[in-house]
Amino acid sequence: MSNFTYKSPSLVALAAFLVSPLLFTTVTAADIASAIEPTLKSVDAKVIDWRRDFHQNPELSNRETRTSKIVAEHLKKLGLEVETGIAKTGVVALLRTGKPGPTIALRADMDALPVTERADVPFRSTAKANYRGEEVGVMHACGHDSHTAVLMGVAEVLVKRKADLRGNVLFVFQPAEEGAPPGEVGGANEMVKAGILDKYKPEVMFGWHAWSSLRTGEIGYRSGPFFADSNAWRMVVTGRQAHGSAPWKGVDPIVVAAQIITNVQTVISRQVDLTDIPAVFSVGIIKGGVRNNIIPDSVELIGTMRTFSAAQKAQVAAAVTRMAQNTAEASGATAEFKLEAYSNPVTVNNEALTEKMLPSLRRVAGDDKVKRIPLVTGSEDFAYFANKIPGFYFVVGVTPADQDPVTAPVNHSPLFYLDEAAIPLATRAMTAAAVDYLLN
C-alpha cells in the first residue's frame, strides 16, 4: 500500500471515518478509492442509461457521429478540455487536477458491428446501415457501448473527486476498433498518428473489454502477450486455363489450391513450437472459376493469420510461402502469398505495469475473481497504444450467473448478451486503476 500522505480536509475526515478511529491518519490510495465509492454510486444508473442508449443507436466503424457527439457534450459539461474529430470521430479530453503528478490515459472504443441483433433485450437494436454496398443490421455485438458508457462515468467520478487526485487524466474515445470499412483507415493507429500521445504525453494507458467467456464479477488478464497479432493474407495460385474435358492441356489451379490448403495446415501443427506459444492460420475465402467446363487460370485464397510475436509471425509467413510455392511448383503452377499491409499487432500488457495494477483489480473484484486467462487469438487495436507507451488491458466478465460462460454467445454473435450487473465493476476497475496509479 502507498504511504502517500494527502491533505484534503474533507477527504481525510471521510477516509479517517472509514478506516480508523483516529481522526488524523495516513491516507493511502486505497482509502481514497474507498472514499470515492459514494461518487461511483452516483453515476452507476447514468452509465447503464448511456449504455442502453448507445446499444439502441449503434454506429458502424468510422461512423460514430452520434455517439461521439454525446461523449463530447458530456465531457464538456464536466468542464474538461475536449478535442473532437480526431481520426474522424475520435474524442479526447484532459482532466487537469492542478497538482503535480503523472498523466495517464484511459481508453474506450465506440463502434458497433454489421450484425442483426437477436438478443432479447428491451433496448434491442433495430438500426440498419449500408456496409460494403449492402443494407445490414447494426449491433453493439462486442460491448463497446459499455466501454464508452463506463468511461463517461469514470470521467464524471474523477472530475468530481479531482481535489483528491493529482496529475492529469486523458480520456480517449476512439472510433473503428473493429477495423475501418474497405478503402478507409481508422482506429487506434489513426489516433496515434493524429498525435494524441505526443501532445498529452500519458505515461501509461488502461483499457478493458466486456468478455462473454467470464462470468459477471470476474476480471481476466495476462501479463505480456494477451491478444494476437491479426493479419489478413491473400494468395494467388496461377495455373493455365484449359477445357474442363482436357485438364492435361493446362495446369489446374483448383487442384493445386486444394493441395496448398491441406499442406499449409502442417505449418502450425508441425513447424510451430506449440509448447511455447500458439498460432492460427485459417482460409476464409476460395475464389476461382466461372463455368462447369472451364479450368480457370487462377484461384484466389484469402484468410487470416494469428500470431503472438514478431519472430513467430515471420516464421509462419515464411513457412506458408515455402509450402505454397513448392506445392504449386510440383504441379507446374505458381503461388504468390502476401500478408495485407494493415494488421493489428500483438496486444502486450507491460509486465511491470500489470504487477502494479493487479492489486487495484483485486481490491474491487475480490482476490479470487481476478484470473489469469488463456491467450486470446482475437485481436484488439489497443495494441497500437500499448506499442507506444506501457499499456494494461483487462477483460470484465459479462455472462450472468445462470449461464455457462463456455457456451454463452460470444462477442460478435447476434445473441451476444451483456449482463448489466457487470457494468459497475468495470467502472470501479477503471477508476481504481486510475486513482491508484495517480496517487502511488
* Residues of the shown chain interacting with Zn ion in the complex, contacts defined by CB under 5 A: 142
Q: Compute the least distance from the CB of residue 356 to Zn ion, in Å.
A: 25
What is each CA distance from 293 to 130, 241, 246, 247, 297, in whole angstroms?
A: 36, 11, 9, 10, 13
Q: Distance (Å, rounded) from C-alpha 197 to C-alpha 374?
A: 30
Spell out the alpha helix ranges (H) of 136-206. Answer: 144-160, 188-193, 196-200
Nearer to Zn ion, 78 or 142 (CB): 142
The 8-class DSSP code of residue 421 comes to: G
Q: Exposure string (b/e) for 288-304, b if CB count within 10 Å is 16 or more?
A: bbeeeeebbbbbebebb
Contact 166, 100 (CB under 8 A): yes
Q: Compute the least distance from the CB of residue 256 to Zn ion, in Å.
A: 35
DSSP H/E element including 285: strand 280-287
Nearer to Zn ion, 31 or 59 (CB): 59
Q: Distance (Å, rounded) from C-alpha 360 to C-alpha 222?
A: 15
Q: Compute the least distance from the CB of residue 86 to Zn ion, in Å.
A: 19
Q: Distance (Å, rounded) from C-alpha 169 to C-alpha 105?
A: 6
Q: Compute the least distance from the CB of residue 163 to Zn ion, in Å.
A: 34
Q: Distance (Å, rounded) from C-alpha 423 to C-alpha 398?
A: 8
Nearer to Zn ion, 142 or 154 (CB): 142
Q: Compute the least distance from the CB of residue 178 to Zn ion, in Å.
A: 5
Residues 6+ apart with CB under 8 A from 419: 216, 398, 399, 400
Nearer to Zn ion, 178 or 252 (CB): 178
Q: Compute the least distance from the CB of residue 144 to Zn ion, in Å.
A: 6
Q: Compute the least distance from the CB of residue 143 to Zn ion, in Å.
A: 6
- Tell me the three cell numbers of residue 132: 460494403
DSSP characters for 364-400? HH-GGGEEE---BSS--THHHHHTTS-EEEEEEEEE-
Q: Compute the least distance from the CB of residue 393 to Zn ion, in Å.
A: 11
- Tell me the three cell numbers of residue 142: 462486442
DSSP H/E element including 170: strand 168-174
Nearer to Zn ion, 97 or 212 (CB): 212
Q: How many CB atoms lie within 10 A of CB 428?
A: 25
Nearer to Zn ion, 142 or 205 (CB): 142
283-292's contacts with Cβ under 8 Å and 24+ in sequence apart are 286/257, 286/261, 288/237, 288/253, 288/254, 288/257, 289/254, 291/244, 292/244
Q: Distance (Å, rounded) from C-alpha 236 to C-alpha 356?
A: 48
Q: Compute the least distance from the CB of residue 142 to Zn ion, in Å.
A: 3
Nearer to Zn ion, 142 or 180 (CB): 142
Q: Compute the least distance from the CB of residue 414 to Zn ion, in Å.
A: 13
Q: How many residues does the chain have?
A: 440
Nearer to Zn ion, 67 or 321 (CB): 67
CB-nearest residue to Zn ion: 142
Q: Compute the least distance from the CB of residue 397 to Zn ion, in Å.
A: 15
DSSP H/E element including 319: helix 310-330
